[in-house]
Structure 1
């Protein structure tokens, strides 16, 4: 009864769902380009991919702004205003950190043919795929089991990324790499690991929405 009453007040244009879906689809694109970037040995070809990633990151900035504008315009929202704000912020953060990790690789002139960087890029991509799948299910909240499975997948990948990060740092300090190169690689690992943390943040918000409204 309560859920039926709630649905009566949902905005007919479902503008928030469309904006979230567009943002998460963009994330899938930018994460795919990160995988291409770290597997590309040519600096200039990487630079072209990174420029494409920058464009996608800017698109997500614009989408986040649109979500905040709609939040100001709409008295009735499909779920808690705090959750809308938190999800928009976390999706934007994911894009920021994915783009930042690729940018740092070329800025520092680091060879991305490194097991830690390659594995971390794959982990980010896997986490983003799960985030996008979960966001798509928010529109109707009928398939809560699929959303829960996506959130579990995000958390699993984030734990994997933590392990990859720890092993990469250990390997880095055990190597005979010079101090400057060590600092550069460590920073790239850290940025990539934060990207998976931000995916987990998005998963937590989505899980909160499911608990409240499903």
Structure 2
């Protein structure tokens, strides 16, 4: 019956393009973050952080469009709750990346440690997988791509937890400046929260996969 229903359901021309825009945008944000943290040039870092802010606003507009379509359309490509949850999770990733970058600038953090760069690298990998998985929602022809991406995202989040915990432990062991410790810890935890939101998005994708594959 589910296959028959899909046959008669009009092809989605609204939600999928918006989700693909959101996936592509959050990948761009993660890449800009990695570049911002990797560069030693403080002026270039400011430029990348400004680009992150711009892309975060783009993501907000896409999320708003998804919610607007959700309020206007009775028939949706998959469960309304999953649409809302996936859009929210992707938006949250962008928000936490933006918060991390903004705090680095606001707190005037110039010493970017290896742990921050590693977390940014993991975010790029996770957002790459998220972008690939979202594209596969268009047809569900390659469900293995979605499933494998979700596994890698979950693994990435576990790695991020470890990297963050070790980095904070070392801060308490070696950082003698209490203010610097607080600033570094705040950024590390915000970056780690961005990876948590990647895992949230993967969990929604797995839910969609189970219901629709």
Superposition CA RMSD, Å: 1.1
Which range is displaced more, 33-42 or 201-210? 33-42
Check conservation: 2:107, 2:183, Cα contact below 8 A: yes
Shift of 1:113: 2.9
Change (3 A) 1:7 1:189: farther
SS in 2 for 1:180: helix
Check conservation: 2:12, 2:77, Cα contact below 8 A: no
* Ranges in structure 2 where 5+ consecutive residues have no aligned partner: none
Residues of 2 paired with 1:169 and 1:7: CA distance?
53
What corresponds to 1:115 in structure 2?
A: 114
Shift of 1:23: 0.5
Give TM-score scaled by structure 1 length.
Answer: 0.96
Check conservation: 1:105, 1:112, Cα contact below 8 A: no
Which range is displaced more, 173-182 or 189-198? 173-182
Change (3 A) 1:44 1:157: same
Check conservation: 1:25, 1:132, Cα contact below 8 A: yes
* Ranges in structure 1 where 5+ consecutive residues have no aligned partner: none
How is 1:148-163 mapped onto 2 (pairs within 5 angstroms)? Answer: 148-163=147-162
Check conservation: 2:119, 2:160, Cα contact below 8 A: yes
Where does structure 1 differ by over 3 angstroms across 4 or more consecutive aligned residues?
Answer: none
Matched, 1:36 2:55: no
Give TM-score scaled by structure 2 length.
Answer: 0.97
What corresponds to 1:75 in structure 2?
A: 74
